[in-house]
Amino acid sequence: MPRALLFAATYPERVSGLVLHSVSAPRTRWAPDYPIGLSDEVLDGYTEWVGQNWGTGRVSGAFAPDLPNRRELARIERAIATPAIAAEHFRLANRMDVREILPSVQAPTLIIHGRDEMMPIAWARYLAEHLPSATLIETEGHGMLGAPETLDPLIDEVEQFVTGQHPQSNVDVDRVLATVLFVDIATSTQQLVSVGDRRWTELLTDFRRQVRVEIDRHRGREVNTRGDDVLATFDGSTRAVRCAQAVVSVAAQLGMEVRAGAHTGEIELQEGDIAGIAVHTGARVCDLAGPGEILVTATLRDLVAGSGLEFESRGPCELRGVPGTKELFAVAPSTPAVALN
């Protein structure tokens, strides 16, 4: 479910509607500002239980106790994944937090959730309250995973929702979710003085050329290059961070030091340029990075669970011109840069 929401926010022109059933939470773990989350002890215990019972039908049966064919559920579980992979999937899913992207989902959304399902009904209600265009249908029992005789009314609701929507209607394709990456050459003035104007111009030209290669390789889009700064956007948060790692490495090979900042949020596309609070946030994050450092927001960190990236907390920081505080994280030096095929 979180990935479906992320896709809808990133590619609004490709999603005419969402039908969500038996929804998981936009954030599973408890937090001070999220009391409907579950404790670490509960989640860790459930993940262990999944690993022990996957392939027996008990896991799927816990979500759909009204379905009688446990042997068929067991066969489906074994066809999907091994017990270890299933447990790892649940562990990584529990690390995701997509609350901040919910306002960016433009697609009309139908949410169907049973009051007796394993997933708390509070999670479905939270989504309905925070998605701009969502309708929640609360059912008795286990919703569409319940007894077959209860399905017809729900199928009618889904059919009416799907056929009653006009694809591409009221979709603003100039407003999308994206990851913005800012790269800035640190101590550029000192380096210019050290090597001289001509050599500095050569280094800068070579640096920009190689940065463009890395942006293309990581399927990003260069927005603009002004002075010592580079701004690019990506439709995948992990590739944005991997690109930043590659750029830091390229700069080091040229004897230069760069700093980078990245944030995932809603941006406005403006004739080749971009605007919006997410752009300002990314720029301010870059301003706080040290030479050779890649800083990201908690929003981005929470979206790359399972990527292999590791982060070190820099704590809550005030960003000039951005309301409130943002918790920032540095990409851990031990995190390897991964080459793309």
In residues, how long is the chain? 341
**Is the pLDDT score of 94 beyond 70?**
yes
pLDDT of residue 341: 41
Cβ atoms within 10 A of the Cβ of 56, count? 16
Residue 145 has pLDDT above 60, yes or no: no
What is the tens place of the pLDDT at every residue in 231-248? 999 999 999 999 999 999
- The residue type of 224 is N
**Per-residue model confidence (pLDDT) at position 325:** 87
Percentage, residues of the chain above pLDDT 90: 49
Of the segments 7-16, 22-31, 53-62, which one has the largest average pLDDT value? 7-16
Residues 257-282 as b/e (b if ≥16 CB within 10 A, e otherwise) read bbbbbbbbbbbebeeeebebebbbbb
**What residue has token string 């889904």?**
158
How many percent of the chain have pLDDT more than 70?
Answer: 87
- The pTM (predicted TM-score) of the whole model is 0.77
pLDDT of residue 1: 77
The answer to whether the CB of 230 falls within 8 A of the CB of 264 is no
Specify the pLDDT at position 195: 67
63: left (phi over 0), alpha (psi -120 to 50) or beta: alpha
DSSP-assigned letters across all residues of 135-192: EEEEESTTGGGS-GGGHHHHHHHHHHHHHHS-TTTT--TTEEEEEEEEEEETTHHHHH
Give the pLDDT band (50/70/90) at residue 272: confident
Question: What pLDDT is stored for residue 155 in this prediction?
Answer: 77
**Three-state secondary structure readout of 83-130:** HHHHHHHHHHHCCCECHHHHHHCCCCEEEEEECCCCCCHHHHHHHHHH
* pLDDT value of position 205: 87
Q: Would you tell me how many other CB atoms lie within 10 Å of the CB of residue 254?
A: 14
